[in-house]
Structure 1
Amino acid sequence: MFRARKTDSGPRKPSQDDVRAQLERILASPGFTASAQRRNLLRYLVDEALAGQGDRLKGFVIAVAVFGRDESFDAQADPLVRVEAMRLRRELDMYYGTSGTGDPVRISIPKGAYVPAFAWCEGHGKPAAGMTETEAATAEAKPPAGPSGTPPGPSAPEQRHARSWLGLALAGFALALALMAGGVVAQHLPQHWMAPFSSGAVKQKHGITVVVLPFRPSGGSKEEEYLAFGFAQQLTTALTRFAGLDLYSAPLDLQHGTAVDPVKASQGLPIAYLVEGRVRSGEGRTQVDVELLDAKTGRVLWGNTFDRQLASDGLLEMREGLAGLISTELGQPYGIIRGVAMEQLADHLPPSMVAYGCVLRAYAYRRTFSHQARAQVRGCLEETVRLDPRYADAFALLSLVQIDTARFENLAPDEMARELQLAFEDARRSVELAPRSALGLQALGAAARYRGRHDEAERRLRQAVELSPDDPEALAQLGWHLVLRGKGDEGRAHLARAIGRSLDPPPWYYFALALEDYMRGEFDAALDAAGRARADDFGGGWSLYTIIQAARGNRDEAANALSMMTARAPDLARDADAWCVKHGFSDATRERFVAGLRQAGWKSEPDRQARAE
C-alpha cells in the first residue's frame, strides 16, 4: 500500500518541484498506458491543483478545457468526465503497481473528486530530483531480485489436490491484491469476507448481472420504430459472446404480466447494471444513444452515441452491426462493464463476488503480465478453482497464467513441461465446463502453441474467433499467432480489428503488429506500434523498438532500447533464437528477427563469452 511518509514534525508533503518531476516521470514512462486525452487530463489536473485552482476542478470545466466540449455540456447527463477520470485512476494504479513501484511520489485521483492528491510513497521522503526520459526508463528497467529478473513463482503441483499451495491463510491476502489493477492494494479485505467463500457457505457468482432494457424510438418515424423494436434482444445476444456477464433482456412492457421483473430482481444482487437506449433518425442518419446505469441507484455510469448513415434497404443489417459495436464496447475484457465493476469491487467486495473479483484481477494482470503480480494472481485462481470447481473462466485464466510461468520464468525443461501440461489440463477443463466460451478455447490454443503444436493452436484460436467474432482478445490471440507463424497478411488484419474494437488495447496487441510492419519494411508504422508495445513486462516491444531504430540508423536510440530489452527480457537477451522458438516463431520470421537484433548490436551469450576470451 502507498502511504504518506510521516516525520517527527508531522506529515511532510512533496513540494511542487517533487510533484512536477513525478508528473514528467509518469508521462515519459512506457509503463503508463493512458491515451493522449487522459495524459492531457492528468497534466491539467496536476497543473490546476499546484496553481491553487483545485476548487475549479468540476466536470463542466474539465470537459471544456480538456475534452473540447462547448458551453452546452451537461455534466449530469453526460458521464464523459467521470468515465475518463475512472480510467485515469485505474491506469495510475496499474502504473504504480508495475513500472512505478520505485517512484518517490504518489499522484492519485481520489474517488468522488477530480482534485489530485500528492504523497510520498513508502520508503521515500527526500525531494525527487528531475529525471530525463532515458534515466526514468533505465530506473524502471531494474529487474527485481531473482535469477531471471522475476520473483520466484510457485512450484508446479504434481496432483490436482495440491492446488491450494497458498492455503486458506494466504487466500485472503491474494484476493486483496486481486482486486486492484496493477497489483496495488487499496485496503485490506475484512477477514469475514473470506470465511463464507472458504467454507463454501456462500454460492459464488460467476459474473455481473446486466439487464438490457427495451430501446425506445425518440420520434415517430417508421425507421426509428423498426430499429428500436427488438434492439434489446439483439444486443443481449451479442453480449452473450463475452464471458462473465449474467444477462437478461427485459420485456417491452414491465408493468403487466406475471413474469418476474428482471429490473426489480437485479436490485437485490451485489452488483447489477442496466443498459438502456434511444434511437433517433433524421437527415439521412441514424443515432443510437446508449447508457449504462447502476441498478440500485439509477446513476449513469457511462454513455455514448453511435452514428450511422441511414440505409432504408438495410435496416436489419444496420441494427445487427450497431448491436455488435455496442456490445463490444460494453462487454470486451477491458471494456466499460468490467472497468466500473473493478472500481466498485475495490470499494466493497460482497461475499458472493470473491471468486469473480479474482477473475477481474487476472484480466488486469494480463494487460501488462506484471512479474510482481503473477504469483498472487496464480494463487488466487488456484484457490478459486479448488473451492469453486465449476468456474470455467477461472480455469481458463489459470491456464493462461501457468503458460506465463512457463514462458517468462527461468525454469528447467522438465519444470516448463510440467507447467504446460497443467495449463493444457486446465484449459481443457474450462472447455468441458463451457464449450461455447471463447476464453477456454483461447487458453487451449495458447497451451498448444507453447507445446509446439502450432496447427492445433491455430485451429483452436480460429474456433474462438468463430464463437466470438467481436471479442478483441480472441482476435488478437489469433492475429498474434498467425504473424509469428509467417501468415502476416491475415494476422495483421485480425490485429487491426482487435485494436480497432478495443477501448484501451493492451500493449501485447501491438507486438505482433509491429513485427509484421517490420517484416514488410514499413518502418514508420512499425516504430509506432513497437513504441506502444513497450509498456508491459513481456519485453518483446523493446526488442522490436531496438531493431527498428537500428534499421533507421538511430544507433544511440537502438543501444538504449537494447539495454531496456536486456532488463525486461533477460532470456531474450541471452539467446534470441531459443526465445523465438519458445514463442512459436516460424523459421523465416525468427531468422529475420534475430538478424535485426544483431544489426542493432545484440550478441548471443556464446558470442559475448568468445569475445571476452
Structure 2
Amino acid sequence: MSATPPDRDDIEAELARVLASPDFEKNQGASRFLKFVVAETLDGRGDRLKAFTIATQALEREDTFDSQNNSAVRVQALRLRQLLQAWYEGPGANSPVRIEIKTGTYKPNFVRGAPLDAEAQCGASDLAARSDLPAPQEAAPPERRSFGRRFAGALGLAFSVFFVALTGLMTEPASPPGARSGNAPPLPSLRIERPSGDKPLGDLAQALELEFSAFDNVIVRKSNAEARSSVNAYALSLQPADKAYVAELLRLSDRTLVWAERFPLPDGADALARQARGLAQTLGDAYGVIDVDALRLLNDFDGMPRGFNCTLSAFTFLKNQSLDRLRVARECLEVAVGANARDDDARAMLAIVLVHDAFYAPPESDSRADLARAEKLAQEAFDLAPRRARSYFARFVAAYAAQRYDEAFVAARAALALNGNSTLFARAIGAAYILRGDVEAGMALLNPLIDATNDVSPASGAAALGHELRGERREAERLLARPGASNQALALLLQLSLCADAACARDRSADLRRNFPGIAADIGAALDRIGAAEPVKTRLQTSPLRDDQR
C-alpha cells in the first residue's frame, strides 16, 4: 500500500462503493454508523467520537442513551468491522482506498490500497455520482435528514470544493480561551506511546486514546510532529515489567518525568477497560495530573490568565468555590469570548461562571441579565460544538439556573454519557440531584468520588447533605469534619443547621459571612437560587437552636 494518505475525494468515492455493496445495503445500522464516523473524521472531529454521539446522531437513539449499560454501539461497531473485513477480503480487495476502524476506537483510518483498473475506476465514478444511495429505513428527524443531505451532496464536486475551503477551520478543535494571545499557553496535548510487539499494552494504548478523547481539556496527538508547540505537550509511555507495566507521564518541553506508577497487566477485556478509564481519569480529568502540572507552569505567563490558564482559573473556582478565583475566571473568559467568535470552550465556561456568579450574588442583586446571557452563551457553545461534553454541561447549568429541571438533567445525562470520567461533571450534577431531592441519583455520582479520595470539594458537602437526608447523621458528620469543609457553602449551611450550641452557630455564621456574603445575607433566598427543593430547603434552615441562640 502507498504511504501517501488518500485525499477526501478518494475517501468519499470508496465510501460510496462500500455503501452500495449488497452486504451494507442489507445492514442499514452499519451503513449509518459508517457514514457518520467517516463524515465526522473528514470534518476534523474524529477524535471526539464517542458511543453516545454515535448512538444519538447516527443510530437515532434518545438523549437518555446510557453507553455504560447499553452495548448497542459496541455491537454495531463489531458488526461494522466484520462487514468491512468481508468487503476488503472480497469485492473490495482491489479498492484504491481502505477504510479501517480498529478495535478500541470509533475513528476510521484511511489508507491507500491497490490501484483500480480502468473498468473499476469507471464504476467508481458512477457510484460517486449516484443520488440513490441507501437511506435509513425509518424517517429521520430534521437534524438527521440535514446530515443525510450534507453527506449526499458531499459526493458532488461543488460540495467537495466547499469542504476543501473549510479544511483549515475544521481540522483542529476550537481554540481554548485566548489561545492566540501572545502569552497564552495552549490546551495540553498528549501522545500515548505504543510499545512495539506487546499486544496487551498495545490494546491498552488504544483504549486509553478512546478514553482521553472524551476530555475537553486534553488533545490526543498521534505523534510529536502533530503538536505545533512543545508547551503543555506530554507523552504517556507504557513500559512492560514482570507481569506488570509502568506508566510514565513525561513533559516534553523539558523532558521532566511528571508522574509514574506501576500496574498489573490487565487480565481480560473488563480489566483493560477499568484500567484505561482509571488512568484517563487520574491524568486527564479537570485537576488531574496534567492540569496540576500545567498549574505549576502558570507563573511563566505574565498578566491576566489566558489560553489554558484561563480555563484552569475556572476549574480552580469550580473545585474550591473561591470567589476571588470566580472573578478572575470571569474576567479572562470575557476577553476570550470577545476575541474569538468560534471559541466554544470559552462560551461554555463563561456560561457556567455567570450562573455561579448569580448563585453567590447578594439577594438585592438583579442577576436576570447574567442568567439570560449564560443561556445564550451555552446555546452558542452547543451550536459551535454540539458533540462536546462541556457544551452539554453548560446547557445543564444554564437550564438548571432557569429552573427548567427536566431539561437540565437531560443535558446532564448527555454530558456524563460523553465523558463519564469527569469528576467536575459528577460533582456538580450529583449535588444538583441532591438539592432537588433525588438523593439516590446524587449519591450514585458522589460516592465514588468521596470513597476514592479525601475529597474536600463541593462533592463532600453535597454528599454530607445526602447522608443527612437519608438519616445517616454519623456519615454526614464524618464528611463535614474533613479539613476544608468550612470553605464550602453547602457544607457550611449543613454545619450551621446541625449546631447544638450558640458558639458553634456563631462560628459557622461568621465563616458563611466571610466566605459567602451573598448567601449569608439571606439563606432562604440563596437556597431558592441554587434550586433547593422545599424538603431540602426546610432541612437546611432547621436547627436545634432557637433563633435567639443563633
Please give the range of the TM-score, normalised by the shorter of the 2 chains.
0.5 to 0.7
Are positions 1:306 and 2:263 aligned together? yes
C-alpha separation between the residues in 1 aligned to 2:382 and 2:263?
34
2:289 to 319, 336, 349: 336
Please tell me whether the aligned partners of residues 559 and 600 of structure 1 are also in contact (alpha carbons under 8 angstroms).
Answer: no
C-alpha separation between the residues in 2 aligned to 1:199 and 1:288?
36
Give the partner amino acid of 2:406: D
In structure 1, what is the equivalent of residue 354 of structure 2?
402
**Structure 2 vs 1, CA of residues 451 and 267 (structure 1 numbering), >3 Å: closer, same or farther?**
closer
C-alpha separation between the residues in 1 aligned to 2:522 and 2:178?
44
1:244 to 212, 217, 221: 217
C-alpha separation between the residues in 2 aligned to 1:247 and 1:546?
45
**Structure 2 vs 1, CA of residues 342 and 518 (structure 1 numbering), >3 Å: closer, same or farther?**
same
1:346 to 264, 280, 299: 299
In structure 2, what is the equivalent of residue 207 of structure 1?
187
Deviations 1:573-599 (A, max 9, x none): 44333222211111122122212xx32
Q: SS of the residue aligned with 1:494?
A: helix
Deviations 1:81-120 (A, max 9, x none): xxxxxxxxxxxxxxxxxxxxxxxxxxxxxxxxxxxxxxxx
Unaligned runs of 5+ in 2: 1-176
In structure 2, what is the equivalent of residue 585 of structure 1?
532
Please tell me whether the aligned partners of residues 184 and 309 of structure 2 are also in contact (alpha carbons under 8 angstroms).
Answer: no
1:276 to 237, 245, 261: 237
**Structure 2 vs 1, CA of residues 346 and 199 (structure 1 numbering), >3 Å: closer, same or farther?**
closer
**Structure 2 vs 1, CA of residues 266 and 494 (structure 1 numbering), >3 Å: closer, same or farther?**
same
Are positions 1:523 and 2:456 aligned together? no
**Structure 2 vs 1, CA of residues 329 and 405 (structure 1 numbering), >3 Å: closer, same or farther?**
same
C-alpha separation between the residues in 2 aligned to 1:394 and 1:594?
36
Per-residue deviation, 1:199 = 12
Are positions 1:483 and 2:434 aligned together? yes
Q: TM-score, normalised by structure 2?
A: 0.62
**Structure 2 vs 1, CA of residues 521 and 216 (structure 1 numbering), >3 Å: closer, same or farther?**
farther
Q: SS of the residue aligned with 1:305?
A: strand
In structure 2, what is the equivalent of residue 379 of structure 1?
331
Please tell me whether the aligned partners of residues 381 and 398 of structure 1 are also in contact (alpha carbons under 8 angstroms).
Answer: yes
2:512 to 565, 580, 598: 565
In structure 2, what is the equivalent of residue 473 of structure 1?
424
Note the 1:471-550 alignment, pairs <5 A: 471-500=422-451, 505=455, 507-532=457-482, 534-535=484-485, 538-550=488-500
1:599 to 541, 544, 547: 544
Are positions 1:425 and 2:372 aligned together? no
Aligned residues: 374
Per-residue deviation, 1:391 = 2.0
Per-residue deviation, 1:362 = 1.8
**Structure 2 vs 1, CA of residues 365 and 299 (structure 1 numbering), >3 Å: closer, same or farther?**
same
Give the partner amino acid of 1:406: A
Which stretches of structure 1, 4 residues or more, deviate above 6 A after TM superposition? 197-205
Are positions 1:235 and 2:180 aligned together? no
Please tell me whether the aligned partners of residues 211 and 248 of structure 1 are also in contact (alpha carbons under 8 angstroms).
Answer: yes
Are positions 1:263 and 2:259 aligned together? no
**Structure 2 vs 1, CA of residues 199 and 547 (structure 1 numbering), >3 Å: closer, same or farther?**
closer
In structure 2, what is the equivalent of residue 174 of structure 1?
none
Please tell me whether the aligned partners of residues 316 and 325 of structure 2 are also in contact (alpha carbons under 8 angstroms).
Answer: no
Please tell me whether the aligned partners of residues 472 and 501 of structure 1 are also in contact (alpha carbons under 8 angstroms).
Answer: no
Q: SS of the residue aligned with 1:230?
A: helix
In structure 2, what is the equivalent of residue 437 of structure 1?
388
**Structure 2 vs 1, CA of residues 500 and 438 (structure 1 numbering), >3 Å: closer, same or farther?**
farther
Note the 1:106-117 alignment, pairs <5 A: none
Please tell me whether the aligned partners of residues 184 and 306 of structure 2 are also in contact (alpha carbons under 8 angstroms).
Answer: yes
Per-residue deviation, 1:456 = 1.2
**Structure 2 vs 1, CA of residues 384 and 507 (structure 1 numbering), >3 Å: closer, same or farther?**
same
C-alpha separation between the residues in 2 aligned to 1:575 and 1:204?
40
Give the partner amino acid of 1:293: L
Per-residue deviation, 1:507 = 2.0
Per-residue deviation, 1:493 = 1.4
Please tell me whether the aligned partners of residues 238 and 248 of structure 2 are also in contact (alpha carbons under 8 angstroms).
Answer: yes
Please tell me whether the aligned partners of residues 532 and 541 of structure 1 are also in contact (alpha carbons under 8 angstroms).
Answer: no
C-alpha separation between the residues in 1 aligned to 2:216 and 2:303?
20
Q: SS of the residue aligned with 2:260?
A: strand
Note the 1:356-367 alignment, pairs <5 A: 356-367=308-319
Q: SS of the residue aligned with 1:511?
A: helix
In structure 1, what is the equivalent of residue 250 of structure 2?
293
Per-residue deviation, 1:275 = 0.4
Deviations 1:435-484 (A, max 9, x none): 22222222211111111111111111111111111111111122111111
**Structure 2 vs 1, CA of residues 207 and 592 (structure 1 numbering), >3 Å: closer, same or farther?**
same
1:446 to 397, 410, 427: 397
Q: SS of the residue aligned with 2:247?
A: strand
C-alpha separation between the residues in 2 aligned to 1:289 and 1:548?
47
C-alpha separation between the residues in 2 aligned to 1:350 and 1:539?
30
Please tell me whether the aligned partners of residues 392 and 434 of structure 1 are also in contact (alpha carbons under 8 angstroms).
Answer: yes
**Structure 2 vs 1, CA of residues 325 and 587 (structure 1 numbering), >3 Å: closer, same or farther?**
same
Give the partner amino acid of 2:236: V
Note the 1:4-403 alignment, pairs <5 A: 207-215=187-195, 225-249=198-222, 262-266=223-227, 268-280=229-241, 282=243, 287-307=244-264, 311=267, 315-348=268-301, 354-403=306-355
**Structure 2 vs 1, CA of residues 278 and 408 (structure 1 numbering), >3 Å: closer, same or farther?**
same
Per-residue deviation, 1:372 = 2.6
Deviations 1:154-185 (A, max 9, x none): xxxxxxxxxxxxxxxxxxxxxxxxxxxxxxxx
C-alpha separation between the residues in 1 aligned to 2:505 and 2:415?
37
Per-residue deviation, 1:291 = 0.8
C-alpha separation between the residues in 2 aligned to 1:549 and 1:210?
48
C-alpha separation between the residues in 1 aligned to 2:303 and 2:203?
34
Deviations 1:204-258 (A, max 9, x none): 77511211101468xxxxxxx4421222121111011111212123xxxxxxxxx
**Structure 2 vs 1, CA of residues 345 and 559 (structure 1 numbering), >3 Å: closer, same or farther?**
closer
Per-residue deviation, 1:491 = 0.8
Q: SS of the residue aligned with 1:275?
A: strand
Per-residue deviation, 1:324 = 0.6
C-alpha separation between the residues in 2 aligned to 1:570 and 1:345?
29
Give the partner amino acid of 1:546: L
Q: SS of the residue aligned with 2:297?
A: helix
Q: Percent identity between the aligned chains?
A: 22
Give the partner amino acid of 2:290: I
C-alpha separation between the residues in 2 aligned to 1:226 and 1:528?
45
Please tell me whether the aligned partners of residues 204 and 276 of structure 2 are also in contact (alpha carbons under 8 angstroms).
Answer: yes
Per-residue deviation, 1:601 = 4.5
Please tell me whether the aligned partners of residues 437 and 536 of structure 2 are also in contact (alpha carbons under 8 angstroms).
Answer: yes
**Structure 2 vs 1, CA of residues 269 and 320 (structure 1 numbering), >3 Å: closer, same or farther?**
same
Unaligned runs of 5+ in 1: 1-196, 218-224, 250-261, 609-613
Please tell me whether the aligned partners of residues 442 and 477 of structure 1 are also in contact (alpha carbons under 8 angstroms).
Answer: no
